[in-house]
Structure 1
Amino acid sequence: MNILAPVSTIMSTRLVTVSPNDDLLTVKKIFDEHNIHHIPVVRFKEIVGMISKSDFLAFLLGDSVMGHAEGQSLEDRLKAHKAEEIMTRGLAKLEPDDRINVALELFKLNRFHAIPVVRDGELVGILTPHDIIVALSEEKAPASAYRQSENK
């Protein structure tokens, strides 16, 4: 992997998003049905926040500890809350032409695990450490990198 390549070469572009007004039951269904750990929150194609699976699970734990109305189902409790209530705001963002090394530095310096990629304010992808690992794992090492033991 060339760390000077643009992030657009390795970012995920098949995105599942929610709007700020979507209820948390919708968020739960997305996490349940898709193998993702971050859901971008968008308003008119512009990213306004991100919900991580950790954010969602922390909400669930806090919600159950706070003991909402007796007899209220989880489904009803999730329908009563909106995505914007638990989303992270003020996200770091990349542009498609930003270099992978810039993304690596952002991951190193910050405690987040997904960076939205935007073009002209519109969400076009997400970059995660997993995307970088996949790109690295798909590279073929040169034959000289392998040393065979003489004592087999």
Structure 2
Amino acid sequence: MDEKISVKEIMTTAVITVQADDRLTKVVELLQDNPIHHLVVINKGKVVGVISKKDLVRMHALVGQPEIGSGNFATTAEHIMSENPLTVDPDDSIGLVADIILANQFHSLPVVDQDELVGIVTSHDLIKYSYK
């Protein structure tokens, strides 16, 4: 992998986000209606978590299939997200991203510039780049 290529060259800038207090129904809708596997969770303008489709599967395994309108659908994003995600800078190398993803078994990293979310980089982005 070319260590000189920066994250900003391969990241997705149109990041779909949810607020920490958004309901599970919104999380499910966004993940079903968009070709994505991860949502970045925001609270007061800052990245506070990430929710993956795998998080929803895990929640489903623990609590079963919630009925719409039930207490489980009242759960908020902050209750199912992976908290305090590692983030990368747009100028970091994709080699660093690959190292972080492999070492931590992550599939996505929010890209933050001066505490502001500017993108997301995923294992899929790395694979697409490697086949260019």
TM-score (norm 1): 0.80
Aligned position for 2:9: 9
The list of structure 1 runs, each at least 4 consecutive aligned residues, that deviate by more than 3 angstroms after superposition, is: none
Aligned position for 1:76: 69
Counterparts of 1:40-79 in structure 2 under 5 Å? 40-64=40-64, 74-77=67-70, 78-79=72-73
1:116 to 70, 95, 110: 110
Q: How many residues are matched?
A: 131
Aligned position for 2:85: 91
Q: State the identity as a percent.
A: 34
TM-aligned CA deviation for residue 119 of structure 1? 0.5
2:128 to 134, 141, 151: 134
Aligned position for 1:20: 20
Unaligned runs of 5+ in 2: none
TM-aligned CA deviation for residue 61 of structure 1? 2.2
TM-score (norm 2): 0.92
> What secondary structure, in the 3-state scheme, does the structure 2 residue paired with 1:75 have?
coil
In 1, distance between residues paired with 2:20 and 2:121?
Answer: 21
Aligned position for 2:96: 102
Aligned position for 1:146: none
In 2, distance between residues paired with 1:30 and 1:64?
Answer: 20
- Cα RMSD after superposing both structures: 1.5
Letter in 2 for 1:92: L
TM-aligned CA deviation for residue 44 of structure 1? 3.2
In 2, distance between residues paired with 1:91 and 1:61?
Answer: 23
Unaligned runs of 5+ in 1: 66-72, 139-152
